[in-house]
Amino acid sequence: MIINYIVIGLLVVLIFIAIFIFFKIKKVNESEIVEKLLKIENEVTKEIGDFKYDFSKIVNGDFEKLRSEIENKLVQINDKVNERIDVNFEKTNKTFNSVLERLAKIDEAQKKIDNLSNDIVSLQSILTDKKSRGIFGEVNLKHILSSVFGEKNDKIYKIQYTLSNKYIADAIVFGPEPLGNICIDSKFPLENYRYMLEKGITEEEKLRREKMFRDDVKKHIDAISSKYIISGETSNQAIMFLPAEAIFAEINAYHTNLISYAQSKNVWISSPTTLMSLLTIIQAVLMGMERDKYTSVIHEELNKLGEEFSKYRLRWDKLSRSIDTVSKDVKDIHVTTEKITKRFDSISHVEIVHNDDELLN
């Protein structure tokens, strides 16, 4: 389309040039003018044809080169896009697999939470009953004693021990003097504790429930003091074991008057953690006393061994003197034997020497 416009323009220019030449050279005849115009037209047409051919060739070459470059660029872009798609697909695949793994872990954790929730519900149903709470405390106490002293170590502790007053302590520890035998009884004042901590109650109601909790704990302290402290049979103090750390912490943090009241009754309040520490100290004392007992036995045996060694030394000295005497006699016999041997040698060589005194010597 552009080439056509260029050709038309060139033709118009040529026509103007021809007209100009025509009016300028008036003396030339018409036939010559026509001939010259035809010649010019042919030359112009040829030039235009050559120009059109060359221009078309150049344009086609540039277009082919541009097409080739565009095609190469498109191939490169396609390769880059495919590469990035592959990389992103791999990352997406890894992310997807990671998400699946995390979902599996979350599902497993959810199952564990569900099982734990069921266990908590079961535990709550167990702890609702007083008898079940008592058994829970006794089992916990037995586990702590066996962890510190070992299973069925009747020389150090016993479970469900009957005292002379017919009361049965949950456990008794046969401690060394002057500590004596310490009774341990498990108490679990859970109802009033939970009742006290309920939300949405007035301040007056809260104070009333706190008093109920304190009275409940004091009742347990009084029972332990009256049942498990017997002069001449047990220690002058006993232990009240609380199997719940939360209740023990509540008493120590907000009800210190209960600690003072228990001390006045010679009752020590303990939790699983503090009881284990106390029993560990008792075990260390017992082991120290056992070592001291064996130390005295060893010392006594060493003294006896020293006496026997003294006797052994006296006997060895006596034997040594006897050996010295025998050794001297053996030496004298050896000298005499040598002389007799020499004498026999002399006789065998007919070298008799009449010297009886020498032989006797």
Alpha-carbon radius of gyration of the chain: 62
129-289 belongs to CATH 3.40.1350: yes
Please report the pLDDT score of residue 170 as a whole number. Answer: 92
3-class DSSP state for residue 331? helix
Mean pLDDT per 10-residue section of the chain, whose length is 361 residues = 58 63 54 67 70 72 78 82 80 80 79 58 51 77 89 87 92 84 88 83 88 92 93 90 88 91 93 89 79 72 76 75 73 74 69 47 46
**Other CB atoms within 10 A of residue 142 CB:** 17
In the chain, the amino acid numbered 31 is: S
Residues 241, 170: Cα–Cα separation, whole Å: 10
Digit-coded pLDDT (tens) for 5-24: 565 666 656 666 666 565 55
Residues 29, 17: Cα–Cα separation, whole Å: 18
Q: Which residue shows structure tokens 């060895």?
A: 316
Query: Can you give the residue ranges of every domain in the chain?
Result: 1-57, 129-289
Total count of residues recorded for the chain: 361
Please report the pLDDT score of residue 105 as a whole number. Answer: 81
How far from chain centre, in Å, is Cα 283? 29
Contact predicate 193/213, CB 8 Å? yes
Instruction: Judge if the upstream peptide bond of residue 178 is cis by omega within 30 degrees of 0.
Output: yes
Instruction: Read off the pTM.
Output: 0.50
Digit-coded pLDDT (tens) for 131-179: 666 777 888 888 999 988 888 788 889 999 999 999 999 999 988 777 7
Residue 161 parent element (H or E): strand 157-162
